[in-house]
Structure 1
Amino acid sequence: MAGNISAAEYKERIERLKQLMAEQELDACLVYGDEYRKENLRYVSNYWPLFERGATLVRKHGDPIVIAAPEGELMCREMTAWDDIRLLPQFTCVTVPDEIEYPQANYTSLKVIMDELRAQGPLRRIGISGIDAMSAPLLKSIKDSLEGADWIDAGDLLFRLRMTKTEAEVECLRTAARIADAGYRRMIENVKPGMTELELSAFAYGECMKQGAESVPFIVMASGERVRTIIGRPTSKVIEDGDMIMTAIAVQFEGYVATVGFPFVAGTMSDEQRAFIDLLVEAEDIALSKLKPGALQRELVQAVKGYFADRNVTRYDLYPPLHGCGLAEAESPYPDENSAASFEIGMTVNTDISLFGHPHGSNRVEESLVVTADGYESMSALVRTLSANWKKTGTVSVG
């Protein structure tokens, strides 16, 4: 295993999880994940299953046990921070109900694993992180492996651990944001009437992978009348002169996801479109002025919503203007106008300043940021450039 997140940091994460387990009197904690809900599993083990399921069983003493399935065993050994890997038949392919035969698989069973842990000490209360992501049959087989135990939903423990980031995690997000910037820049430089949305998005996909993206979880894209879809996927629709482009790129690097988005227009921009983009740029400036350690998160939300109310566009303001980012594109915190929490140094967040259904367009500004002692650091140099150039020239210029 190599990369920004060291083996020592994974050990430290497990120790912090054990502290939270002790507070809730948990004797063990099973952290589940798969290709689609990878975040918590990757946080504790660096394992990201492909097709299959995975888990990490954290016990009171000793290193964790990583649970995988046969087809991905070697990939698991290549990725994971831990040496003890067990294969279970219940963890094979997520997407099919069939029982798949792997005649060379060296399977164990959940009962064998639980008996091994019980030999080390009582197993009365066991936490599960990822109950919401696993199938009912899998959850039943897990619970049936240890009679008499209380199984506790422990998802909140992982969300608490992931709320603030280490410098190594922030560095992963910085890299993801830099790659996303490169892909977004390519779209702005190459957009022209007559191409399809799929052709435009291909500039971003190709550039992001060339720049070292581990994955591009999504490219949101819509043009013209389609911008009302809020989170539309790129289609074969032909982009016409004067079409507003609503797009955002999410880039994953070593598990960490940063997102970038800024409105632009193919061909000729109207005065009405220009005024609409002004609203979003000014609203983001207001949001950034409220982003600092110790500040109440609700004050940022209230400031943006107050600005939109003053401009009579509240009916187009559909959700809060900021959310967390990290191992998921959107994660805690996700504050609203009543949130009691404060920003803390090391939190990483995305602005999501958006208006949808407005007569002159629908769009958003997205930018990945980290809360610092001095306020915040933008991890997207491109959004800062686009915003500054917009205020100077009224054009979406990457130079």
Structure 2
Amino acid sequence: MDRKETYQKRLAGVYSYMDAHQLDGAMFTSYENRRYYCGFTGSNGCLIITRDKVCLVTDKRYTTQAQQQTIGVEVIEHAANRLSLVADTIKKCGIKKMVMESCMTVDEYFPLKEKMGDIDVVFEQEYFLEQRMVKDAEEIACTKAAIAAAEAGFDKLLPRLKTGMTEKDLADELHYLVSKEGAEAMSFGTIVGSGARGALAHAFPTSKKIEDGDMVVVDFGVLKDGYCSDMTRTLLFGNVSEEHMRIFNLVQESQDKAIAAIRPGVMAKDVEDAHRAVFLRENLDDYALRGLGHGIGLQIHECPRIVIGNETVLKPGMIFTVEPGLYFPNDCGVRTEDDVLVTENGVENLSHTPHEIHIG
């Protein structure tokens, strides 16, 4: 599928929403949806869509870039009058009733609404998130490239690790190495929690030194071609206690059970239930979080949400994390995380880094 066909197919989902709700147009202001529906990667822009045309209002910094990145899109350059020009463009497109994402700030929405006059606006977020939930071949390839860059950098990190280094040392080395492997940026703030700090699910790397016997939770991801990866490994430094290894093995068992349950047609909650059964069996569910995973794509947290009670039916092309964990305050934490792709017949684990990694 060429680029023009890709964006036409994606825009068809917008048209379906417009038809179902008797709307004349749609407007997107988030980076992710602008990129998804037209290919533009600049930081400033307002994408306006009707059945007959697609317009992108942006500033002079991005005019040439927008023309190069988009196909069949009218690029309109604004100066200081951005909201006025957006309102005028909406009117010139003949829009009387339109859908907008619910992410525009109050400071921008109300002045824009005043300039639009009697044009009706409805807000929608979930539908467009769900449209991005099933990835096409290009998106799958970009995600695999992001995973490959992350894993290549992580693999080069392991020989550099040693007891006595700080959490921040580890994170800094990792950031450098994934960059050398082609990562554009980290997809979120890297998490490093050693020893008792591993019980903090979102531990920010500190100057704490890693000690013999520590389990160290390392959760990170990178951006490649605009798409995110997400991976967690709990590294085992030195002489880890038998009880901590028991916890480590239970978390790994729970991930194995979850991945074994993934296939088209099952609900997200069924996968969540499969992993949680291990913790319930061991009377440890109070030490687990309330969800198992989340979709990844242009954002690090997307649909589907693999959480308790979610009845989203899994479909081929969905990519999401499977990241069970147990967290014991003032003692330790363990999490392991892979990125998986739902296939026509089951599941493909896109993560290839070993789960049990001993350092020293």
Do the two structures share a fold, i.e. TM-score over 0.5? yes
* Greater displacement, 7-16 / 107-116: 107-116
Indicate conservation of the 8 Å contact 1:114/1:145, yes or no: no
Q: Aligned ranges for residues 195-210 of structure 1 at < 5 Å?
A: 195-210=165-180
| Structure 2 residue aligned with 1:236 | 207
- Does the alignment pair 1:70 with 2:60? yes
Match of 1:24 among 21, 26, 31: 21
- For residues 349-376 of structure 1, the C-alpha deviation after alignment (integer angstroms, 9 at most, x for no partner) is 1102111226752121111111012210
| Structure 2 residue aligned with 1:55 | 46
CA distance in 1, matches of 2:64, 2:279: 52
Q: CA deviation at 1:222?
A: 1.7
Q: TM-score, with normalisation over the residues of structure 1?
A: 0.83
Q: Aligned ranges for residues 351-362 of structure 1 at < 5 Å?
A: 351-357=322-328, 360-362=331-333
Match of 1:348 among 287, 310, 319: 319
CA distance in 2, matches of 1:381, 1:209: 19
Matched positions, count? 358
Cα RMSD after superposing both structures: 2.3
Indicate conservation of the 8 Å contact 2:199/2:331, yes or no: no
* Greater displacement, 244-253 / 39-48: 39-48
Match of 1:109 among 38, 61, 85: 85
- For residues 178-199 of structure 1, the C-alpha deviation after alignment (integer angstroms, 9 at most, x for no partner) is 1111122233332212222222
CA distance in 2, matches of 1:31, 1:293: 31
> What amino acid is the match of 1:85?
V
| Structure 2 residue aligned with 1:97 | none
Q: CA deviation at 1:58?
A: 0.9
Indicate conservation of the 8 Å contact 2:199/2:330, yes or no: no
- For residues 284-337 of structure 1, the C-alpha deviation after alignment (integer angstroms, 9 at most, x for no partner) is 010011101111221111122221011111111112112211111121111333
- Any stretches of 5+ residues in structure 1 without a counterpart? 93-106
Q: Are the structure 2 counterparts of residues 172 and 284 from structure 1 closer, same or farther at C-alpha, using a change threshold of 3 Å? A: same
CA distance in 1, matches of 2:269, 2:80: 43
Q: CA deviation at 1:162?
A: 0.6
CA distance in 2, matches of 1:225, 1:362: 7
CA distance in 1, matches of 2:222, 2:300: 9
After superposing on structure 2, the runs of 4+ consecutive aligned residues of structure 1 that deviate more than 3 Å are 70-83, 87-92
Indicate conservation of the 8 Å contact 1:87/1:108, yes or no: no
Greater relative CO (CA pairs within 8 A, separation 6+): 2
* Greater displacement, 147-156 / 74-83: 74-83
Indicate conservation of the 8 Å contact 1:173/1:379, yes or no: no
CA distance in 2, matches of 1:177, 1:59: 36
> What amino acid is the match of 1:15?
A
| Structure 1 residue aligned with 2:234 | 263
| Structure 1 residue aligned with 2:131 | 161
Percent identical across equivalent pairs? 22
| Structure 2 residue aligned with 1:101 | none
CA distance in 2, matches of 1:82, 1:356: 51
Q: Are the structure 2 counterparts of residues 350 and 141 from structure 1 closer, same or farther at C-alpha, using a change threshold of 3 Å? A: same
**Secondary structure of 2:163's match?**
coil
Q: TM-score, with normalisation over the residues of structure 2?
A: 0.91
CA distance in 2, matches of 1:255, 1:172: 8
**Secondary structure of 1:315's match?**
helix
